[in-house]
Chain A
Amino acid sequence: MKRLVVLILSVMVSVLLVTAGCGSAPTKPQASGGDAPAPAATSAGETSTVPQPPSKKVAWVASNIANEFTTGMADNAVAIGKEHGWEVTVFNPNSDLAKQISQIENAATQGFAAIIFDPVAFDGMNAVVENTMANHNIPVITLHGSVSPEAQKLLTAYVAVDLTKGGELKMEQVVKDLGGKGDIAIMTGTEGQTSALLVTQGYDNVLKNYPDINVVFRGAGNWNADDATPLAENWLSSGKHLDAIVCNNDGMALGVRAVLQAAGLTGKIKLYGLDATKEGRAAIRDGSFDATIWVDSYAEFVEAFKIIDAFYAGQPFEKEVMVAPSLVTKDNVDQLFPND
């Protein structure tokens, strides 16, 4: 028995050593162009500098498609891509980092002409970005979320809404509504996820200047109403005093709204979301939300496709595009969204 265990362990260790040893020669990033296995590279149109798109397909690799905002993003990707003459395929990794990496690898090998992705995690994408950029001469763009500085350096471009700025804008409004003093609860998205971290960072940037705003609770509502509802219920039943609940997105805020309504606290506890989804805007209009932030994914995709077109036209383009977020309140909602 013992011998067997020793045998197995020694085989495993030697396998580890062999593979770890060969791992000491990582693939080095290569100069773009050259040996990229893009099938269309041999076509007649190839000139020295302007790359040819290998196909008319563009991949939109989302982070997760589970709520109104992310569904809207996918719709925007397809619609705007079509306007620019691209056929957009939508990938949904369901917030699974490894799956997103696989999908990016698949899209690159399958001859997609461009890959736009919203990273599931800030720090997880270095290797896949490095490999894709080294082996495929296609534009790879992050959109909405962002990746670590090392990976960002290699990317073709990145387009984002300044989420930290959005968080700041919103928290300033909270402070204003409460008169600089009060008890609040903060509901974040899935813990450890980039966009949740960035928005919450914005909150904290503002809060450090207002010591009279007391953060009573911090909890993760995982971006959706299902998880937000019980969390809010627990907060309310704790008996602690709350003046406002600030959520990282509208989806969770809608869940909280239902809880407040059931408890007869609508209006007594102020409620803040983010995204300005259609339902969120309606909530602003009927007063059940006090403010939200419009994260304009439409504008993001417009910028992304401009970059792709410029890439294949051999024209210069901006490598970093930040789309500004805007605060949405009852006062300006009709002005910003006249078509609702």
Chain B
Amino acid sequence: MTEILRMKGVVKSFSGVEVLHGVDLSLNEGEVLALVGENGAGKSTLMKILMGIEQPDSGEIFLNGVKTIIPGPAHALALGIAMIHQELNPVPEMTVAENIFLGREVNRFGFVSRREQERLTEAWLQKLRLRIPPATRMRDLSISQTQMVEIAKALSLNSKILIMDEPTSAITQQEVNDLFHIITMLRDEGIGIIYISHKLDELFQISDRVQVLRDGNVINVTPTKETSRRAMVRDMVGRELSTIYPTCDSQLGEVLLEVRDLTRYGEFESVSFSLRAGEKLGIAGLMGAGRTELVSTIFGERQPDRGEIHVKDKVFAPRHPNDAIRQKIALVPEDRKLMGLNLIMTVGDNITMCVDRRESRFGLLNIKKNKEMVEEMVGSLAIKVHSYSQNVENLSGGNQQKVVLAKWLLTNPDILLFDEPTRGIDVGAKAEIFELINSLVMQQKAVIMISSEMPELVGMSTRVLVMCEGRLIGELSGADITQENIMALASPLQ
């Protein structure tokens, strides 16, 4: 095995604060190196330095043993280093082929040769065994397909080092399997892959070595086979986390929510279930199974074509989320940046958003009361902020999610709908959110949790509903809740 990349003693400061304290990293040909650490551990900064987006204050980079300076991202690409970003940014109106050749169009006499571009694209896609026509517009692709196109783009650039930042955060289990297949294939062709993820289970599946960063220091580098999940978490968090899924024995109470024959054509059909106080109901399914649409409908964000919702034995036909809030229903949406938060608003203003009117007098904000509520929430959820008037966009994913939770807890809801509550947040914050969910059900609240991460559903739910292609096709409870059973139900063509 030959070493293709070595970063040595990398130090980087921002505004006089050192965030990387001499970090080393080495990557071999045909190897998957997992880079893990909590948000803020320095992974992103380290990768930005490798991509030439940031320059190190000191330290060296060796490519194939040769000392190299990477002044900018274009240079990194030319050196064969490519990165698949966590938040993909294709040009949605362009075709797959146009995106792959963006900025280096195949041209003849200055005119883009579309046919030639599409032919080359097809070849790269075939190599990845993807059946996407090169003339498809990017906006018509799913997240995972977009990701594959990005990978194809990296391959077309003849990249030898591929950085993947949270590639599985927004795709389904099936797609994850496809992705891993491709990663394995690329590795076997000698490409070195740096794989960043919060999902520790996948690292055992895919990586050869694990490097743990904490607070800008390398804590541990070991072959994956020789470490355990528990050890990894300890290295990342710096303390022992007894268990990530805390147990709780809540008593089931009355039925709070009942859904009968709920249908929105094209999204979900004839869904019926009930939810009791003190219950944690998991909803499993692949991307596009209609889960998000279902909870959005219960929340009044869209209206059903057929069927009824009952809240505490009364018919509930919400026209607007505001109706749901009045019925003490809360929704922590799937995408906190798009639906959960106003990123350019302060922490405090976001937290009180849903209760401003309740606390107001003559339309005036109750600034004093709001401040007290914010203080209480920031304290009880341990949200890390510099000040309450800091904009939410500057918080880490986990803290942003806690702001969303705080916002909804203030409405004092009885029914909480969590749509992918832990997407893209680190282990520590995940555990805190699970503990919070448990404390909510202990107070006889009812919780629905949608998740694409099977271990989460298995670890947390008292009951799991499985959806497939818009239909409720199974219900698991007690000892039947296993990853295998969920997978068996969730996959189509069965």
Contact = CB atoms under 8 A, between A and B. Distances in A.
Judge A-B direct contact (beta carbons within 8 Å): yes
Interface of A: 1, 3-4, 7
Contacts of A1: 357, 363
Nearest to B362: A3
Interface string B350-363: 00000001000011
A1 B360 CA distance: 10
B366 to A, nearest CB: 14
Given A4-B362, A7-B362, A7-B363, 5 more contacts: A1-B357, A1-B363, A3-B362, A3-B363, A4-B363
A164 to B, nearest CB: 58
Contacts of B357: 1
Nearest to A4: B363
Nearest to A2: B363
Interface string B335-359: 0000000000000000000000100
Contacts of B362: 3-4, 7
Nearest to B363: A4
Tell me the interface secondary structure of chain A in the complex: helix
Nearest 8 CB-CB pairs, A to B? A4-B363, A3-B362, A3-B363, A7-B362, A7-B363, A4-B362, A1-B363, A1-B357
Contacts of A4: 362-363
Contacts of A3: 362-363
A1 B358 CA distance: 11
A136 to B, nearest CB: 47
A3 B360 CA distance: 11
8 contacts: A1-B357, A1-B363, A3-B362, A3-B363, A4-B362, A4-B363, A7-B362, A7-B363
A3 B363 CA distance: 7
A1 B362 CA distance: 8
Which bucket holds chain B's interface residue count? under 10
A3 B364 CA distance: 10
Contacts of B363: 1, 3-4, 7
A4 B362 CA distance: 6
B480 to A, nearest CB: 50
Nearest to B360: A4
A296 to B, nearest CB: 58
A4 B365 CA distance: 11
A262 B357 CA distance: 67
B363 to A, nearest CB: 3
B431 to A, nearest CB: 41
A7 B362 CA distance: 8
A3 B362 CA distance: 6
A4 B356 CA distance: 14
A4 B357 CA distance: 11
Contacts of A7: 362-363
A2 to B, nearest CB: 9
A178 B362 CA distance: 74
B361 to A, nearest CB: 9
A11 to B, nearest CB: 12
Interface in B379-415: none
Interface in B147-177: none
A31 B289 CA distance: 86
A4 B360 CA distance: 11
A331 B363 CA distance: 78
A7 B363 CA distance: 9
B320 to A, nearest CB: 14
A6 to B, nearest CB: 9
A4 B361 CA distance: 9
B51 to A, nearest CB: 50
A4 B364 CA distance: 8
A173 to B, nearest CB: 59
A55 B192 CA distance: 82
Interface string B441-465: 0000000000000000000000000
B321 to A, nearest CB: 16
B277 to A, nearest CB: 33
A7 B360 CA distance: 14
A3 B361 CA distance: 9
A3 B58 CA distance: 62
B360 to A, nearest CB: 9
Nearest to B364: A4
A323 to B, nearest CB: 62
A7 B357 CA distance: 16
A267 to B, nearest CB: 49
A1 B356 CA distance: 12
A3 B357 CA distance: 12
Interface string B25-59: 00000000000000000000000000000000000
Nearest to B361: A3
Nearest to A8: B363
A9 to B, nearest CB: 12
A219 B37 CA distance: 74
A48 B334 CA distance: 85
B467 to A, nearest CB: 38
A3 to B, nearest CB: 5
B359 to A, nearest CB: 14
B176 to A, nearest CB: 47
Nearest to A5: B363
Nearest to A1: B363
Interface string B269-300: 00000000000000000000000000000000
A225 to B, nearest CB: 38
A224 to B, nearest CB: 39
